[in-house]
Structure 1
Amino acid sequence: MARGAHGGRGGQGLARVAVVVRAGAAPLWWCGVFAAGIGVLPPGLTGRRIGVMAGAALFLVGAAVVAYARRRRYAALARGTARAGKHDVLQDRAVTVRNWRRGHRWWLLLACAVALGSSFAVPAAGGMLLAGTGAGLRLKAAWLGRRERAEDTLLWLRVDWLDGRGGRPAGKAVKAYRGTGIAAGDAAPGGARRRTAALV
């Protein structure tokens, strides 16, 4: 299992699709929890009770929208999965997560700031929406994990296709996924850390 971003001898650097999806779940969740916790302190324009009730609804809506967004695109790419080549380089889970979070750090800070600012109008609602998007990403990664287990194939995509436009794992730049056996790499189906890392 190699850690580089690009393959050698004609191979490609590959990142796990589910890991890329899951990478934003934790920072969005914790930014949302922080913003909601601080945001519930000011009474706001609507009052705390209405703010929290609105936030709960936004949490559910945000989680559902993110969890189900572009599933047809993911499914279509998964159906066209080609077998990874022997010279392809599988990127470590930690590297994929670090790259995603580094590329999105300013967006995450801006989202947290906006959620905090919105609390002066609707207490806690912005933070709860942010937390809901994090929960939605976790649900989407779990859905991908169920597909991977059902088909006994882990889904990967070329690292260079993640460059630019936020690194979307089902964006227009992504032409196809590649597949490996279920034990490849150091991330389990769904993108969670594998307890015992296995080699290809």
Structure 2
Amino acid sequence: MAVVVRAGAAPMWWLGVLAAGVGVLVPGITGRRIGVMAGAALFIVAAALVAYRGRNRYVVLARSAVRAGKHDVLQDRAVSARNWRRGHRWWLLLAFLAALGSSFAVPAAGGMLLAGCGTGLRLKAAWLGRRERADDALLWVRVDWLAANGGRPAGKTVKAYRSTGIAAGDAAPGGARRRTAALV
């Protein structure tokens, strides 16, 4: 489940950094200094809002998590991330173009806002990872519920999470790629 949260963090971050970098090159209506200062404020606010938004729903669903059954379909980390990115690629492109377009008014602010949203998602995934480690269980969303909900792991159609042991699957707590030790 943290994989889906984390899937949007990297594209938002990199597209935001790219848009902010290009935006600094344009003087804009307000000037570079005001644009960068406004962008820094937007980055901090967006990161905080995205990181803390919906935590109560995640906590409620995590408390009601049931052990994954034999017939539950749970996706690999790479498949979940790829599906989320494919399903949201047009929204990411529109957000990038909006961030670039806003640079003509307030340089770099739109890009920094987008990067702040990506940072907030990364912070939320890290929080979920700490929670998974504390409970000693990975949390999963059933594939059919995730697909019906547009890729949101805590949406209305998600009734409960599934849990497995911490060593199950190819994802570490928090949605990171599981590191395997080299065999000697």
TM-score band, normalised by shorter chain: over 0.9
Secondary structure of the 1:107 match is helix
More divergent stretch after superposition (154-163 vs 21-30): 154-163
Out of 144, 151, 156, the residue aligned to residue 172 of structure 1 is 156
Query: Could you list the per-position Cα deviations for residues 24-63 of structure 1 after superposition, in whole angstroms to 9, with x for gaps in the alignment?
Result: 0000000000000001111111100000000000000000
Structure 2 residue 84 is matched with structure 1 residue 100: yes
Unaligned runs of 5+ in 1: 1-16
Is the Cα contact below 8 Å between 2:72 and 2:142 reproduced in 1? no
Secondary structure of the 1:38 match is helix
Secondary structure of the 1:86 match is coil
Kindly state the Cα deviation for residue 196 of structure 1 after the two structures are TM-superposed. Answer: 1.7
Identity among equivalent positions (%) equals: 82
TM-score (norm 2): 0.96
- Match for residue 14 of structure 2? 30
Matched to 1:53, the amino acid is: M
Kindly state the Cα deviation for residue 117 of structure 1 after the two structures are TM-superposed. Answer: 0.1
Give the alignment of 1:74-153 within 5 angstroms.
74-153=58-137
Is the Cα contact below 8 Å between 2:73 and 2:143 reproduced in 1? no
Matched to 1:156, the amino acid is: W
Is the Cα contact below 8 Å between 2:39 and 2:112 reproduced in 1? yes
CA distance in 2, matches of 1:126, 1:22: 21
- Match for residue 2 of structure 2? 18
For the aligned residue pairs, the C-alpha RMSD in angstroms reads 1.1
**As a proportion of its length, which structure holds more helix?**
2
Matched to 1:158, the amino acid is: R
Query: Could you list the per-position Cα deviations for residues 121-149 of structure 1 after superposition, in whole angstroms to 9, with x for gaps in the alignment?
Result: 00000000000000000000000000000
Secondary structure of the 1:40 match is helix
**Which ranges of 4 or more aligned residues in structure 1 deviate by more than 3 Å?**
none
Matched to 1:42, the amino acid is: V
Residue 110 and residue 142 in structure 1: after superposition, are their counterparts in 2 closer, same or farther (change >3 A)?
same
